[in-house]
C-alpha cells in the first residue's frame, strides 16, 4: 500500500505541475484592440510539501494542498512576461491509483523576474485511458501585468525530459514538470 501511495503521490505531483503550467497557456477570444502573443513555458518543480491524502470508502484517493515550488523558463516573445519562479497548489481525486486516472486541479502563481507583478489562476487536468488533457488560465496583477490574461494547454514532462532541467534545481532531478503552450492576451493594445 505504501508503494501505491508513493507512486500515487509522484503521479499527483506530476499532474499538478502539468496542470499549473497549462494555466499560463493559450488565450481565448480576440477582443477589439487586444494583442495576442503566443508563448511556450516550462514549469519545472524542484521541491514540494506534502498535503493531506486519504482514501474514501468508494476507493477514491483524495489529495489536497500539495505545494510545489518551481522555476519557469520561457521561449519566444513572451519570455519577459513569464520567466521567473512559481508556486503550484495541487489537489486530486484519483479513481485508479495504479494508472493515476482521475481529476487533478488547483491554483498557480508565477512571479516573473523582469516584471513588477505576478500571475495567478486555476488549472485542471483530466487523466483518462486516452492520456492527460489539461488547461490553465491566469490573470496578471500588479503594475506591469494588470489587464493581461493567458490561457493554455498543459503537457506532462516525463522523467527523461525532466533530467535536462536538473540545472534549474541545483543539479537535482526535478520532482515534476509541464510544458505550457498558449497565448498571452494584452487588452487595450493597438
What's the whole-model pTM score? Answer: 0.81
Q: What are phi and psi of 94, to 5 degrees?
A: -105, 120
Where is pLDDT greater, at 4 or 188? 188
Q: What percent of the chain has pLDDT over 70?
A: 81
Domain boundaries, the chain: 2-186
**Which residue carries 488560465 as its cell?**
137
d(CA 172, CA 177): 13
pLDDT digits (tens, 9 = 90+) for 120-166: 999 999 999 988 899 999 999 999 999 999 999 998 888 999 999 99
CB 179 within 8 A of CB 50: no
- For 9-40, how does the pLDDT look when each residue is reduced to its tens digit (9 = 90+)? 555 554 544 444 444 333 344 455 679 999 99
Alpha carbons within 13 angstroms on the beta-carbon side of residue 126 total 3
Task: Tell me if 179 sits within 8 A of 42, measured CB to CB.
Answer: yes
Q: Which residues pair with 186 in a beta bridge?
A: 35, 148
pLDDT digits (tens, 9 = 90+) for 56-104: 999 999 999 999 999 999 988 888 999 999 999 999 999 999 998 999 9
Per-residue cell: 40:
511556450
Chain segment 103-112, per-residue pLDDT in tens: 999 999 999 9
Distance CA 22, CA 138 (A): 9
Residues 6+ apart with CB under 8 A from 115: 80, 81, 142, 144, 145
Give percent of the chain with pLDDT exceeding 90.
69
Instruction: Count CB-CB contacts under 10 A for residue 190.
Output: 6
**Hey, which residues does 148 pair with through a beta bridge?**
186
What pLDDT does 13 receive? 54
159 contacts 173 by C-beta, under 8 angstroms: yes
C-alpha cell at 8: 500515487
User: What single DSSP character describes residue 184?
Assistant: E
How is domain 2-186 classified at the architecture level of CATH? Beta Barrel (2.40)
pLDDT at 79: 87
Residue 190: which pLDDT band, with cuts at 50, 70 and 90? very low
* Residue 186 to residue 18: CA distance in whole angstroms: 24
Question: What pLDDT sits at residue 116?
Answer: 96
pLDDT of residue 83: 96
Amino acid at each position: 500500500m505504501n508503494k501505491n501511495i508513493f507512486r500515487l503521490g509522484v503521479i499527483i505531483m506530476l499532474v499538478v505541475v502539468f496542470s499549473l503550467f497549462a494555466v499560463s497557456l493559450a488565450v481565448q477570444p480576440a477582443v477589439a484592440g487586444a494583442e495576442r502573443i503566443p508563448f511556450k513555458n516550462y514549469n519545472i518543480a524542484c521541491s514540494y510539501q506534502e498535503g493531506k491524502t486519504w482514501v474514501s470508502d468508494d476507493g477514491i484517493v483524495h489529495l489536497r494542498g500539495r505545494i510545489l515550488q518551481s522555476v519557469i523558463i520561457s521561449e519566444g516573445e513572451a519570455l519577459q512576461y513569464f520567466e521567473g519562479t512559481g508556486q503550484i497548489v495541487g489537489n486530486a481525486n484519483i479513481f485508479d491509483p495504479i494508472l493515476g486516472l482521475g481529476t487533478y486541479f488547483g491554483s498557480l502563481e508565477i512571479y516573473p523576474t523582469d516584471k513588477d507583478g505576478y500571475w495567478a489562476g486555476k488549472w485542471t487536468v483530466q487523466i483518462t485511458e486516452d492520456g492527460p488533457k489539461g488547461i490553465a488560465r491566469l490573470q496578471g496583477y500588479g503594475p506591469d501585468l494588470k489587464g493581461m490574461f493567458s490561457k493554455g494547454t498543459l503537457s506532462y514532462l516525463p522523467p527523461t525530459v525532466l533530467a535536462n532541467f536538473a540545472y534549474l534545481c541545483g543539479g537535482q532531478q526535478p520532482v515534476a514538470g509541464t510544458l505550457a503552450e498558449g497565448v498571452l492576451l494584452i487588452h487595450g493594445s493597438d
